[in-house]
């Protein structure tokens, strides 16, 4: 079956690869400061998975030519690594988007990508969306799930406005800038805990988007949670609805139950699929999720999370499986199997 893979990674091997897209000042800064692309080493240790493809031939060989994938959405996380110099962050974001276009998007019509933006300055994020957002090969704005301020906060709304003005969605991807403790009680000491921290953080972001009325302001906005898991959704929605019933006056702009906003506006990729193996429990989870309608397939190449997905897919009907592997993402990004040949930059 043809599929849309909603999360495949690419990353430049070094900043040298971006130099053609950066001005002389930044080239000198990077060289003098010894800044290296570390491939988010704290997030993806080498023992688990492989380095992200750094060029088109690697991507074609390792991903595109291996399976029945009609479209691949490329997510370059190198922008997540940038430090707190806002101007550097903005320059690198632009450089990365130009690099992705030249190295990947121009070479294969199966490829789409997320726009990388500054994660420090909403103003700069808006500027970058305005700069490249008309390019239809970009389908969404990529944000890290870890943030200084929850993404739903009013300070960030201009980013969503800019995205929607150009028909773009938003994605929250696991991980984020190094140096922030991932939990409410500080740093974790093991990779496993840091890795799993993305899930509670994603939950907090879901609460923020809904509570801040982002979907009341931007009713066509969809947010894809990438690499954040999804089995935690049902209990979160039960609690969210219950608490809202008591304190709705704090957020009187919410005209519907929070769970309805979440079901309509959020989607989640299937990697990681941290699930039970027991088919009875899988069927229960699917029912608790109200069906698999929120799920969109992602390989998350080259990151590994175990093999929970096949057992879940096996419990689905053909139509449900198609929605996970194709139609949910197709609808999200306006993708058709045979798009008109005149599309392009």
* Contacts (CB under 8 A) with another protein, residues 230-259: 231-232, 234-236, 238-257
| Among the listed residues 199, 270, 323, 328, the single contact to another protein using CB under 8 A | 199
* Least distance from another protein to the Cβ atom of residue 244, Å: 6
* Least distance from another protein to the Cβ atom of residue 145, Å: 7
Could you say whether residue 292 binds another protein (CB under 8 A)? no
Give yes or no for a contact between 158 and 242, defined as CB atoms under 8 angstroms apart: no
Residue pointed to by tokens 């890795």: 195
* Least distance from another protein to the Cβ atom of residue 232, Å: 4
Q: Measured from the CB atom, is 20 or 219 closer to another protein?
A: 219
- State the DSSP H helix or E strand holding residue 115, giving kind and residue range, or none if neither: strand 111-116
Could you say whether residue 203 binds another protein (CB under 8 A)? yes
Of 7-15, 66-74, 84-92, 298-306: span binding another protein (CB under 8 A): 298-306
Could you say whether residue 84 binds another protein (CB under 8 A)? no
Neighbours of 165 (CB within 10 A): 12
* Least distance from another protein to the Cβ atom of residue 122, Å: 12
Could you say whether residue 87 binds another protein (CB under 8 A)? no
Q: Where are the beta strands (DSSP E) in 159-238?
A: 169-173, 223-226
Displacement of CA 170 from its chain's centroid (Å): 7
Could you say whether residue 200 binds another protein (CB under 8 A)? yes
Number of helices (H), then strands (E), belonging to the chain: the values are 13, 8
* Least distance from another protein to the Cβ atom of residue 126, Å: 10
Q: Measured from the CB atom, is 35 or 221 closer to another protein?
A: 221
Binding mask 41-60 for another protein (x = CB under 8 A): ------xx------------
Q: How far is 185 from 173, CA to CA, in rounded Å?
A: 22
Q: Could you tell me the two tokens for 14?
A: 């070094």
Could you say whether residue 161 binds another protein (CB under 8 A)? yes
Closest CA to 2 of 345, 341, 331, 327: 327
Q: Measured from the CB atom, is 57 or 306 closer to another protein?
A: 306
Of 10-18, 74-82, 100-108, 284-292: span binding another protein (CB under 8 A): 284-292
Q: Could you tell me the two tokens for 244?
A: 């809202």
Give yes or no for a contact between 67 and 101, defined as CB atoms under 8 angstroms apart: no
Three-point CA angle 328, 331, 336, nearest 5°: 110
Could you say whether residue 276 binds another protein (CB under 8 A)? yes
Give yes or no for a contact between 171 and 224, defined as CB atoms under 8 angstroms apart: yes
3-class DSSP assignment, residue 153? coil
Of 81-89, 116-124, 135-143, 148-156: span binding another protein (CB under 8 A): 148-156
Closest CA to 69 of 275, 306, 330: 330
* Least distance from another protein to the Cβ atom of residue 277, Å: 10
| Among the listed residues 204, 286, 311, 335, the single contact to another protein using CB under 8 A | 204
* Least distance from another protein to the Cβ atom of residue 265, Å: 13
Could you say whether residue 173 binds another protein (CB under 8 A)? no
Of 35-43, 198-206, 293-301, 322-330: span binding another protein (CB under 8 A): 198-206
* Least distance from another protein to the Cβ atom of residue 151, Å: 8
Q: How far is 144 from 77, CA to CA, in rounded Å?
A: 8
Give yes or no for a contact between 166 and 221, defined as CB atoms under 8 angstroms apart: no
* Least distance from another protein to the Cβ atom of residue 57, Å: 29
Which residues from 207-226 bind another protein, rule CB under 8 A?
Answer: 207-208, 211-214, 216-219
Give yes or no for a contact between 297 and 273, defined as CB atoms under 8 angstroms apart: no
Rg of the chain over all Cα atoms, to the nearest angstrom: 19
Give yes or no for a contact between 295 and 304, defined as CB atoms under 8 angstroms apart: no
């Amino acid at each position: 079956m043809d599929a849309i893979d909603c999360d495949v990674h690419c990353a430049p091997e070094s900043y040298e690869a971006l130099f053609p897209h950066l001005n002389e000042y930044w080239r000198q800064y990077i060289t003098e400061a010894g800044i290296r692309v570390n491939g988010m080493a704290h997030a993806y240790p080498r023992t688990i998975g492989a380095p992200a493809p750094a060029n088109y031939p690697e991507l074609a060989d390792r991903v595109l030519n291996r399976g029945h994938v009609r479209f691949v959405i490329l997510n370059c996380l190198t922008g997540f690594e940038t430090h707190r110099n806002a101007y550097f962050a903005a320059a690198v974001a632009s450089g990365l988007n130009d690099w992705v276009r030249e190295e990947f998007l121009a070479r294969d019509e199966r490829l789409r990508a997320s726009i990388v933006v500054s994660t420090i300055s909403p103003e700069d994020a808006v500027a970058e969306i305005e700069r490249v957002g008309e390019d239809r090969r970009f389908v969404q704005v990529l944000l890290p799930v870890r943030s200084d301020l929850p993404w739903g906060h009013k300070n960030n709304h201009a980013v969503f406005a800019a995205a929607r003005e150009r028909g773009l969605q938003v994605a929250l991807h696991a991980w984020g800038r190094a140096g922030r403790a991932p939990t409410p009680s500080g740093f974790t000491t093991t990779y496993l805990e840091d890795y799993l921290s993305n899930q509670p953080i994603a939950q907090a972001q879901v609460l923020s988007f809904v509570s801040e009325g982002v979907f009341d302001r931007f009713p066509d906005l969809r947010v894809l949670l990438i690499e954040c898991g999804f089995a935690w959704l049902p209990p979160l929605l039960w609690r969210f609805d219950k608490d809202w019933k008591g304190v709705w006056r704090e957020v009187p702009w919410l005209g519907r139950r929070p769970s309805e906003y979440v079901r309509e506006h959020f989607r989640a990729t299937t990697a990681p699929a941290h699930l039970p193996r027991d088919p009875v429990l899988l069927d229960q989870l699917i029912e608790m999720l109200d069906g698999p309608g929120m799920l969109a397939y992602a390989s998350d190449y080259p990151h590994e999370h175990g093999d929970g997905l096949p057992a879940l897919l096996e419990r689905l009907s053909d139509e449900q499986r198609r929605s996970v592997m194709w139609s949910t993402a197709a609808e999200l990004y306006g993708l058709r199997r045979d798009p008109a040949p005149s599309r392009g930059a």
